[in-house]
Structure 1
């Protein structure tokens, strides 16, 4: 009985995560990647938009997610003085990445430079606060 309940809760949680990723993708067609990343740096939900080729190989991506986790954790260590971390943003020539802390995990978003990154950020905040 307990296994069935745990399985049902996991299914609901996975569906909830999938819905979040889909809602974020719907914000802007220039979003390349949306992923929920666990504490080991593994993408547990989401991925690249259909038809988008990753710019990094799998090991480089894993390193980037681990660094994103580390960055969030580092800045959260100052929360008592600065307040909680809402998001971190990195803008480069080809892409902009936004990382949000989310329930002990992080949400990573990668968008092309042509995107309205402020709108993506603001809409994502609304989605994850629901």
Structure 2
């Protein structure tokens, strides 16, 4: 594992440890490829690891679409989706990489978003 991937893995693990309601933290590169991820082993998985990677890829595609109007409305700060069984947050790490966080439905997503944005210096 190269240095960038090691640092990405460390970041995922630190975010995962912030709150027990976090199910998964992953980072994808600008091409939608999986870079790093950390799984909460205390929760039941709803999808397998390959499906998490696929979810990360699709989140990156949606993020790229959100950026299309940024020249008019500003850059997206984060994206949030609530499903019946999980919540999902997408945040940009930089111009190329995206952080995806999967949460339990009862999670305080605003607290987690604030923590991650502060950790990233935003």
TM-score > 0.5, shorter chain as reference: yes
Could you say if the C-alpha distance between residues 41 and 47 of structure 1 is closer, same or farther in structure 2, counting changes exceeding 3 Å? farther
Q: Which blocks of at least 5 consecutive residues in structure 1 are unaligned?
A: 1-6
Residue 127 (structure 1) aligns with: 119
Task: Return the TM-score normalized by structure 1.
Answer: 0.80
User: Does 2:88 correspond to 1:97?
Assistant: yes
Decide whether the 8 Å contact of 1:48 with 1:54 is kept in 2: no
SS in 2 for 1:113: coil
Decide whether the 8 Å contact of 1:24 with 1:124 is kept in 2: yes
Residue 68 (structure 1) aligns with: 59
Decide whether the 8 Å contact of 2:78 with 2:90 is kept in 1: yes
Two-structure CA RMSD over aligned residues (Å): 2.1
Q: How far apart are the structure 2 equivalents of 1:40 and 1:58?
A: 19
Larger mean CA deviation between 35-44 and 81-90 belongs to: 35-44
User: Does 2:71 correspond to 1:80?
Assistant: yes
Could you say if the C-alpha distance between residues 65 and 14 of structure 1 is closer, same or farther in structure 2, counting changes exceeding 3 Å? closer
- The one-character-per-residue Cα deviations of 1:18-71 (angstroms, maximum 9, x if unpaired) are 232122112211100001112343332123112334312455434322221111
Q: How far apart are the structure 1 equivalents of 2:53 and 2:15?
A: 21
Q: Tell which structure's C-alpha radius of gyration is larger.
A: 1
Q: Which blocks of at least 5 consecutive residues in structure 2 are unaligned?
A: none
- The one-character-per-residue Cα deviations of 1:76-95 (angstroms, maximum 9, x if unpaired) are 11111111111110011211
Q: How far apart are the structure 2 equivalents of 1:15 and 1:58?
A: 19
Decide whether the 8 Å contact of 1:23 with 1:127 is kept in 2: no
User: Does 2:117 correspond to 1:118?
Assistant: no
